[in-house]
Structure 1
Amino acid sequence: MPREGAAADSMSFHQDKLPSRPEIFDFHGVSMTHYFTDNWENIQNFQARPDDILIATYPKAGTTWVSYILDLLYFGQTERQEVVPIYDRVPFLEIIISSYSGKDLVDNLPTSPRLIKTHFPVQFVPKSFWEQNCRIIYVARNAKDNAVSYFHFDRMNNIQPEPGDWTDYVHRFMGGKVAFGSWYDHVNGWWKKKQTHSKLHYMFYEDLVEDTGREIDKLCCFLGLSRSDEEKKRVTDGVHFDNMKKDNMANYSTNSIMDFKISPFMRKGKVGDWKNHFSEAQSEQFDEDYEKKMTDVTLQFRSEI
């Protein structure tokens, strides 16, 4: 087993050896890039364990936030939190860049349960997660804020496709021509799965912003964890956005594929920031498109709180 932190070393690339910006292509009906499909067969054959916990989200919907919450709930404040970045404590299952493999990181995790993250749409999830009846937490974020956050992320992340300008990006986001495909298909696909998989907890980014403590209570209930009020308060304080933004083991500042001169990985963490980006015409066009695509009235989002 590699020493803890060894994998983190391989996530450091010299400026002249940075991975190249990928092209989007259609992969089984979903827009993807090769960094998330090159290891496809190994990922599909991944052997989940019954106590594995999968954190699933569309990109930029609160993945790191919920990963950090679970890491603290299960393992508390330990030395590991101070030396191992969150992306090695909660590995990104499908990523593969050169020799850096999310699956290998998961296979070598020293913790139990293993906390694993994915951005896969529900139909791409390795079947062993369902066969082992694993607990899965899905986090969804309103479409407009998600689009804005993803745009800024694509600007600063060298393994994401070039985002172009905001006007182009909004249209591509609406059409699902971004990595991991359509936001609409993603949130709806996972919502539908919730009806048949009893161990799927579907939560909303906006609820987390509104009352983090309440959502942590719900998570504890879902996971069967009994934590004292004091412990839960410590977790709630620890995962406050401002605290995480300053924490080098949580804010991705140790990850060399991201250019913080363009934008921080953790930017604002707010609900309603879309109003600073969408023009009135863009907002109206987006709303019309949204009405056509969001036909399940049981799935409701809030774009302000």
Structure 2
Amino acid sequence: MDRINITETFAGISYPGHLHTRESLKLAQDFQFQDTDIVISTFPKSGTVWMQEILTLICSKGDSLVAETVPNWVRAPWLEHTYFRETVQENGGLRIITTHLPYDILAPALKNSKAKVIYMARNPKDVAVSYYHFHKFAKFLPEPGTFGDFLDRFLNGKVHYGSWFQHVKSWLRHQENASFFFITYEDMHWDLRGSIEKLCGFLNCSLSSEELDSVEQHCSFNRMSQNSMVNCTLISPEIMDHSKGKFMRKGIAGDWKQHFTVAQNSLFDHIYQEEMCHCKHRFHTALD
């Protein structure tokens, strides 16, 4: 298991060494985006795979063949991963590229292109819970300890990929840019069809009613959770111990209520207010 217990540090942020090297992170920083690229940016456990699936189906006009036969890490590869250069197409044409990197690292490269960026965020309480469960079975991530221990590290930005607060703020400062589209996990839960239509508008991709039906159908949680191209069951148990959890666990909003104590919730709200007081967007912590 290559570099499974290694932590890589880049620009003050730690990353799992199994997926990243200093060289791969530097290549990501210096990557030359094409004007036709579509970039998905997220903090981990914020609906990344969901967006990859939606964009795959939009770009294929609702045809599910690619989504059901090609792994998501091949059709929408992670920019900063070690395998990216071997996977990304270099022959022009539309490319979907995924990243968990903060804006500041990618800013020089993005400013020199007209690539369209879709930033997807999720309310941080659910992110913390989902990330905690992911640590339980992803062997390339540190042992999480108790949920309380993990939550403390999450709030202090001491987890892999850094601070949720800083990541979100770094990208949202640029949401007025015409090439930038912001959407939340909760938006898509409230109105998946409407969210797909908005994404189509941003991408200048017109779909018929039947094609939209197909995108919506194939991008439901139940459908994706059974699709081995996205549910991570293709990944070796030496890397993800599937006996200890599921990559696609619940796919709901508000699960944090089953994990947070009153004191933890109060502390989280306090830190959130301090960190996000100047942020225009207010994240919904439930759908009710």
TM-score by length of structure 1 reads 0.87
What letter corresponds to residue 226 of structure 1 in structure 2?
A: S
How far apart are the structure 2 equivalents of 1:62 and 1:235? 16
Show CA shifts across 1:160-179 (max 9, x none): 22222211100000000111
Alignment RMSD = 1.8
Deviation at 1:126, TM superposition (A): 6.2
Say whether the 8 Å CA contact 1:24–1:177 is kept in structure 2: no
* Corresponding residue for residue 21 of structure 1: 5
Aligned partner (choices 19, 43, 49) of residue 64 of structure 1: 49
Say whether the 8 Å CA contact 1:20–1:158 is kept in structure 2: yes
- 3-state SS in 2 of match to 1:193: coil
Is 2:26 the partner of 1:41? yes
- 3-state SS in 2 of match to 1:302: coil
Aligned residues: 282
How far apart are the structure 2 equivalents of 1:214 and 1:78? 20
Deviation at 1:78, TM superposition (A): 5.0
* Corresponding residue for residue 69 of structure 2: 83
Say whether the 8 Å CA contact 1:57–1:138 is kept in structure 2: yes
* Corresponding residue for residue 182 of structure 2: 202
* Corresponding residue for residue 264 of structure 1: 246
Deviation at 1:282, TM superposition (A): 0.9
Deviation at 1:295, TM superposition (A): 1.5
Say whether the 8 Å CA contact 1:61–1:146 is kept in structure 2: yes
Aligned partner (choices 67, 80, 86) of residue 104 of structure 1: 86
Aligned partner (choices 153, 172, 184) of residue 165 of structure 2: 184
- 3-state SS in 1 of match to 2:88: helix
Is 2:204 the partner of 1:224? yes
Aligned partner (choices 230, 237, 247) of residue 217 of structure 2: 237
* Corresponding residue for residue 288 of structure 1: 270
What letter corresponds to residue 57 of structure 1 in structure 2?
A: T
Deviation at 1:153, TM superposition (A): 1.1
How far apart are the structure 1 equivalents of 2:2 and 2:25? 22
Say whether the 8 Å CA contact 1:174–1:286 is kept in structure 2: yes
* Corresponding residue for residue 106 of structure 2: 125
How far apart are the structure 1 equivalents of 2:37 and 2:12? 28
Distance 1:249 1:215, change over 3 A: same
* Corresponding residue for residue 228 of structure 2: 248
Deviation at 1:43, TM superposition (A): 2.0
Say whether the 8 Å CA contact 2:8–2:20 is kept in structure 1: no
Say whether the 8 Å CA contact 1:251–1:265 is kept in structure 2: yes
Is 2:53 the partner of 1:73? no
TM-score by length of structure 2 reads 0.92
* Corresponding residue for residue 55 of structure 1: 40
Deviation at 1:106, TM superposition (A): 1.3
Deviation at 1:187, TM superposition (A): 0.8
Distance 1:115 1:73, change over 3 A: same
Distance 1:210 1:191, change over 3 A: same
What letter corresponds to residue 15 of structure 2 in structure 1?
A: M
How far apart are the structure 1 equivalents of 2:222 and 2:65? 21
Deviation at 1:18, TM superposition (A): 6.1
How far apart are the structure 1 equivalents of 2:41 and 2:215? 21
* Corresponding residue for residue 138 of structure 1: 119
* Corresponding residue for residue 14 of structure 1: none
Say whether the 8 Å CA contact 1:45–1:126 is kept in structure 2: no
Distance 1:106 1:251, change over 3 A: same
Distance 1:225 1:106, change over 3 A: same
